[in-house]
Structure 1
Amino acid sequence: MAYKTSCGGLDAKGNVSYAFNSYYQVNDQDDRACDFKGIATTTTVDPSAGSCRFIIEIAPTANGVAMAATVRVAGVMAAILAAFIHLVVPVF
């Protein structure tokens, strides 16, 4: 998400999607930790683009075969940006 990195070319929606996904993965894909007031959703489609790879956790199934876990992606850009700012900007 930084300038001149593999994900530096993401637009605002892509940046928020990447941040939401990272938070979701760090919290072990716990839906309770990543509800974002209903403005995000899970998907089985990898949102990675070009050299920007979204992190996904690989979860084993009951028979030991690995499967790609779902990732969080943005729904409505304006609402997502508002939620992202609310999460990042401290309130004094």
Structure 2
Amino acid sequence: MSKGKWITGTARERLAETMKEQYLQGRSIRAIAEDHGRSYGFVHRVLTEAGVSLRSRGGDTRDGSRLSDPSADTTIGARGASRSGLPASR
């Protein structure tokens, strides 16, 4: 599908279903846009038209594993503290 070409009717419906499946599997709008040679805005609009509930910014956090195990996050930030705000052990 060439970039900038208008997609209407059943072709748009099929494309919307494909993009919806990819998005619900955890792919980002940006990744879907790149795969299909379309803009971020086009994919966002198609997903919205298809009734998809869009995730908030920051990616797919559906499994919640990072939130359920506070000891799992031991990343040290630029100021020497972990993301939890507690002093990092060195």
Query: Normalising TM by the smaller chain, what interval?
Result: 0.3 to 0.5
Higher helix share: 2
TM-score (normalised: structure 2): 0.33
Higher relative contact order (CA 8 A, sep 6+): 1
Greater C-alpha radius of gyration: 2
TM-score (normalised: structure 1): 0.32
